[in-house]
Amino acid sequence: MIKVENGVLIYHYDAEEVWIQGWGTNGLRIRATKEAQMPEADWALDKAKCVAAEIRVEPEGAWIQNGKARLFLTNGGKITVFNQNGKLLLEEYWRNRRSVTDLKCSAIEVEAREFQPNKGGIYHLTWRLESVERSEKLFGMGQYQQPYLDLKGLDLELAHRNSQASVPFLLSSLGYGLLWNNPAVGRAVLGKNTMSFEAFSTRALDCWITVGDTPAEIEEAYADVAGKVPMMPEYGLGFWQCKLRYQTQEELLEVAREYKRRGLPIDVIVVDYFHWPYQGEWKFDPVYWPDPDAMIQELKEMGIELMVSIWPTVDPRSENYEEMLENGYLIRTERGVRIGLNYEGGTIHYDSTNPGARKYVWSKVKKNYYDKGVHIFWLDEAEPEYSAYDFDNYRYYLGTDLEVGNIYPVEYSHTFYEGMESEGQTNIVNLLRCAWCGSQKYGALVWSGDIASSFSSMRNQLAAGLNMAIAGIPWWTTDIGGFHGGNPNDPEFRELFARWFEWGTFCPVMRLHGDREPRQPQYGTTGGATCRSGAPNEVWCYGEEVYNICEKYMNLRESMRDYTREIMKEAHEKGTPVMRPLFYSYPEDTACWDVEDEYMYGGSYLVAPILEAGARSRKVYLPTGKTWENIDTKEQFAGGQWIEAAAPIDVIPVFAAK
């Protein structure tokens, strides 16, 4: 049965009900459930973007159109999506005999929308789609540790892990964008014969589709319904110094002073984890950080902002543990001792799905950090080693879920954003390891996690950053040099570090971080001192040649401050990615859709990172329609051709559009 109620196209058959309505620019929202009523959650979508669409019911089914997006729903329940010119973009994979006039009528009986019941009255959902064209290219979906920009043919886990962030928005070369608006753990299979999206535990299918003539039109429509980043603060435009980890107040200050003595531009320095007495005490340990007020003031006088790391774990020895336990602010375990993570002590995570717990943590952070002048937070989820889920009382919050324990980074961001809003302050930066669709509007700056120090890992980060950008997260960064290991005295690592540093200059945020070797000796016996630090990780620790490279590119980044500010403004106002695949800026140049190891930093600079050890040149494609000038050699080249670009150890090939 098909009907129209309150501007919603509704299909009902047996236990299933489907709702389709206009949402945003050129967009349609599709929902389906087998529950008694449609769930109310909007997840990543802004409810205010629900709009009236044109609906026409015919004998064979019904049409619904919102701008360039046109959808046909058959009397048998099958959905197909077209653009304004009638081009087929998406088609559900139906293989049954419900409609014998369907050209794909089949006896194999496969549903496009399959709801398999789980215990507790909810479903394992699979949504199946035809692969309309084998040559279709797909981009987005978040951050995965693999080297492919084009995701067609890939099998992706929809879950968060350290260095993996599921942000399930797809942009297709056919001219559509698709948001899998369901934060459940699941799977996306983007095959050449069929595509499918799965949610392992959910109450409804929920997706949003937009149609556009260019990638920019699609991306901006998505940003309009899912949210845009705030304006990046000035301190986000320059160089950030970090390592695992500065152990004392004096050590950190001396590093900052050395940067200033050398005349090197620096905007941010980071106090990483275990600067506290116990986990769950969101404050500086007075033994090793005796005067944080004076430290912050000295840094500000040098023009440097301080970022602090915050963990969600609470030690039973913490001064806050009993109060949080009494008020129900800690998560619970299914059985046994209440320990969720055993790292420098057995701890349990605070319950970020509890509004009272969020308010409590913010009150501590506000008192001990924010009110002292620290307005940048590194919100680390601390990788829980367990699965904390309850299928009978399944809950989500802001796009993360309990099933894999990923209940921390987005909720932290939302907590701090709420606190800032109450004080009229919304221009914040939260450095997070994971995010979901819509996290950007809470000031989420995602970094790619604890990654390996290798050229292959660096290659993966390029794909991760570009797909994260298409997935709607413009603020993104990576650990320059990789996180795990790497000895500053090793010539091979120095080469990797130099190449990564050059590339980092053209990332949305330029941040040096890593856990270097050899490890430093333990410097104390109490508090965070039990967590040993890695080797020094400042730019002067890698030898004179590398230092000169770092100095060159730090100054280049500083000279681009006005430009970086402008492209951050585009991200804030329109949702435009800061890092852009070539096809985003040059969609009519078909070759640009095939190039996966170059990108545009904003609209003016083409960046071609060196991704192999020993390479001193590389092939670079220059898009048609522009003249391109090598920023190092000042040579100019016509667009629409491949060239061999020189890349001595102190050069990353970068070309300015003229």
Catalytic residue numbers, as ranges? 380, 383, 450
Query: How does 24-42 read in b/e, with b if 16+ C-beta sit within 10 Å?
Result: bbbbbbbbbbbeeebeeeb
Q: Spell out the residues 6+ positions from residue 238 whose beta carbon is closer than 8 angstroms to its own.
A: 265, 266, 267, 268, 510, 557, 558, 561
Please say whether the beta carbons of 397 and 418 come within 8 A: no
What tokens were used for 457?
A: 């890992």
Please say whether the beta carbons of 622 and 606 come within 8 A: yes
Closest alpha carbon to 226 in 245, 213, 252, 207:
207
Written as one letter, the residue type at 251 is: E
Indicate the SS3 state at residue 452: strand
Please compute, for residue 48, the number of CA atoms within 13 A of its CA located in the half-sphere on the CB side. Answer: 3
| Eight-class DSSP state of 274 | -
The DSSP-derived string for 70-129 is: EEEEETT--EEEE-TT--EEEEB--BSSSSTTSTT--TT-B-SEEEEEPTTS-EEEEEEE
Q: Is 466 exposed, middle or buried (0-12, 13-18, 19+ CB in 10 A)?
A: buried
| Eight-class DSSP state of 262 | T
Please say whether the beta carbons of 28 and 69 come within 8 A: yes
Q: Using alpha carbons, list the distances in angstroms from residue 597 to 198, 387, 497, 556, 576.
A: 30, 36, 18, 22, 20
Max intra-chain CA distance, the chain:
79
Residue whose token pair is 């990923």: 406
What tokens were used for 106?
A: 């089949």
d(CA 185, CA 75): 32
Please say whether the beta carbons of 185 and 202 come within 8 A: no
Written as one letter, the residue type at 262 is: R
